[in-house]
Amino acid sequence: MKITSVTVVLVERPGFSPAFVWRKNLPGSDGRTTGAWLVIETDAGITGFAPAGRGVIFNDYVDRRFRDELIGQDPLQREYLWERLWELDRIERFPAGVIGIIDVALWDIGGKQAGLPIYKLMGGFRESLPSYASTVTYSSIEEFLDIADQALALGYPAIKLHAFGDAKKDALLGEKLRAHVGDDVPLMYDGSAGFDLMDAVYLGNALYDSGFAWYEEPMREFSVTAYKWLGERVRIPLLLGEVTDGAHMSAGDFAASGVATALRTSTGLRGGFTGAMRIAHLADAYHLRAEVHGMGLESAHLCMAIKNTTYYESLVWGNPIKLESLLDSNGNVHGPKGPGVGYETLWAESGVPAGLEKFLK
């Protein structure tokens, strides 16, 4: 099989409705943006798709670097093509996600050729997995408690906080939430890199006292040393490596330093399915978990294929919140049907994105 065309279809995305905020000092949800779909066609009549969040930037990379690199190549040589893209990254320093977009489209082709969903092609481990409601930042502790009640009533078995970004206030929220939901509901905390070492230590110890299951990315992830110092000062398990550069290689340092109890992995930030599975297997070598970042079909496939993972992340926003459409009433995500990633299955319900009709056969 050979790649015959590489096309970027720009699409206007309306943004989250309602809009939401993250912790202090971070911008909130995107408003209207220009996204894109990557479309890779082949001489076998199989077409691969992948969504891109920053359409204009991605289109520039495809025009200047990727189209010439990909046309004429065998799309099933995913490991080879991943390495070619990694070589280009040395010069271009791609934003996180760019290599992954191409890798996802290549896996979509591979899945369609095999007639299998991606997770079966990667080697399936399970058919369903529990999720957690991953909150945005709400206005007050009282509103967070209300959202927690809603999440549990909808069927979510666990809750992760993206909280205020204030160590004292977040510690108090953790304490109040634990008292509110009781001891049996798994709770997690995501700091979105909001703290320095002193505040990260204070908050980590407070969350440990409130029985939180993991403490995710409390500081920027560029210093393994700083995390080692944090790990020496807190007992709560640390979930690390969501956003750092360097794909599986930097994830390896978080594992080898002994500081990470679990590694983050994803298609979006870790180089597609290929990069995400490298991290999952690397983590498994050290008996670490590889927890999947972010929601959507791609993450659902990873959750079915990775042995050492425990939850699917399902973002909840607005008030009232809704149960994500990929979940059942017990808050479990299931293996997407495919073949490939299965975007066409979603489009059969929601409509084909403008500009893609001509690529669907």
Task: Closer to Mg ion by CB, 51 or 294: give it.
Answer: 294
Task: Closer to Mg ion by CB, 194 or 335: give it.
Answer: 194
CA–CA dist 339, 108 (Å, integer) = 8
Task: Closer to Mg ion by CB, 199 or 242: give it.
Answer: 242
Restricted to residues 284-313, the positions that interact with Mg ion (CB under 5 A) are: none
**E-strand spans in 105-170?**
128-135, 159-162
Q: How far is the CB of 293 from Mg ion (least distance, A)?
A: 6
Coil vs helix vs strand at 26:
coil
Peptide bond connecting 320 to the previous residue in cis, omega within 30 degrees of 0: yes
If one asks whether residue 108 binds Mg ion (CB under 5 A), the answer comes out as: no
Give the x-and-dash track for 256-275 against Mg ion (CB under 5 A).
--------------------
If one asks whether residue 221 binds Mg ion (CB under 5 A), the answer comes out as: no
Restricted to residues 230-259, the positions that interact with Mg ion (CB under 5 A) are: 242
Q: How far is the CB of 165 from Mg ion (least distance, A)?
A: 13
Task: Closer to Mg ion by CB, 103 or 190: give it.
Answer: 190
Task: Closer to Mg ion by CB, 41 or 291: give it.
Answer: 291
The percent of the chain in helix, strand and coil, each rounded to the nearest 5, is: 40, 20, 40
Amino acid at 316: V
Strands laid side by side in the 3-13 sheet: 3-13, 33-42, 47-52
Segment holding 55, helix H or strand E: helix 55-61
Tell me which residue of 51, 53, 129, 168 sits closest to 314, measured CA to CA: 129
> How many residues sit close enough to Mg ion to count as binding (CB under 5 A)?
2
If one asks whether residue 190 binds Mg ion (CB under 5 A), the answer comes out as: yes
Q: How far is the CB of 160 from Mg ion (least distance, A)?
A: 8
Segment holding 272, helix H or strand E: helix 272-285
Q: How far is the CB of 242 from Mg ion (least distance, A)?
A: 5
Task: Closer to Mg ion by CB, 108 or 190: give it.
Answer: 190
Looking up tokens 């309306």 gives: 14
Point out which residues pair with 327 in neighbouring strands.
333
- Candidate segments 114-122, 188-196, 267-275, 320-328, binder of Mg ion by CB under 5 A: 188-196
CA–CA dist 291, 303 (Å, integer) = 8
* Minimal CB distance residue for Mg ion: 190
What are the structure tokens assigned to 208, written together? 């440990």
Task: Closer to Mg ion by CB, 190 or 298: give it.
Answer: 190
CA–CA dist 211, 202 (Å, integer) = 15
Q: How far is the CB of 217 from Mg ion (least distance, A)?
A: 5
- Candidate segments 16-24, 147-155, 189-197, 252-260, binder of Mg ion by CB under 5 A: 189-197
- Candidate segments 11-19, 183-191, 275-283, 299-307, binder of Mg ion by CB under 5 A: 183-191
Tell me which residue of 211, 256, 247 sits closest to 264, measured CA to CA: 247
Q: How far is the CB of 314 from Mg ion (least distance, A)?
A: 13
Binding site residues, Mg ion, CB under 5 A: 190, 242
